[in-house]
Amino acid sequence: MKHSGYLALFGTALLWSFTGVLVASNHLSAVLVSAGNALFAIISCVLIARPKLHFNPLIIAVGIAQFIVAITFNAGNQLSTVGNVIVLQYCSMVFVIVYQSIDTRKLPPVKQVVFVTLAILGMVLFFFDELSPEGALGNLCAIVSGIFFGLMFYLNSKPSSDAVISYMISCVIAMAVGAASLVTAGELPRLSFQDIASMAVNGFICQGIASVLLAHGLKSVPPFSSNLICMSEVILAPLWAFILFGQGFGRFALIGAALIVLSIVLNLHFEQQLSAAEEDASLEGAELEDTVLEGAGTYSANE
């Protein structure tokens, strides 16, 4: 079950990695692009996941958090550099650890802190040439996006959560905001075939299918590991930009990519060791219980 969860999360990162290329090819505003993506994404979720609609405060809270993640990420991209926004948003791993520590009232494992440090250092090196002190407001938006991104991962690990329904809620909010912007503008935008096609592919596949895969992965993989695995999007997105648009990599990109991959692999290895130890402890407990019951049965028979 957990292995399929890992694959689902890597699939999520792979699909998310195409989002930047598709958004870059669209000529509409960020708000309208988000609304168009949301429309196709909801259709995708309904057709593939066939969710049974149900709501509770947690599901609604996650939906609102996801909408805030998207809107602040788009705003950050408009007001700051891509490198700044991605590095700051994926500091969400730090916030996952904070939420986890507050919830469990325990300090995080030292290994987890090391993996976060490696991953963030890798991101800084990967986007080193794009980082800039300018765009303070955009950087602040990216930090807010990271806070709610981490919250989304952590809350979706709760038993009463439903990641697909929450994502659909975020889509409804995005469409409502898009509709409000059209009413305010007082005119409909000019849509090209390229604009519609990019929103259809982005919404249906890169957002809709990705949200279903993410929901599957979050059921079996802890929130910190889920967030870290999805961070592989950071490496894949520039790769597609290089292949499609010829955009080059920075001087330290390979070192940064290696550190990111290393943090993911080490974390997965650590998690597998932890799972194996828990299984061994469970088996030992079961064997001890069987021995005690067998002994009690023998004692009764002797009586």
Q: Tell me: the pLDDT tens digits for 108-156?
A: 888 888 988 998 898 888 888 777 776 788 888 889 999 999 999 999 9
* pLDDT digits 0-9 by tens, 59-92: 999 999 999 998 888 778 777 776 677 778 888 9
Q: Which two tokens mark 245?
A: 């648009």
pTM: 0.81
- Cα 270 from Cα 257, distance rounded (Å): 20
| pLDDT tens readout for residues 209-264 | 999 999 999 988 989 899 999 988 888 877 777 777 676 667 788 888 888 888 98
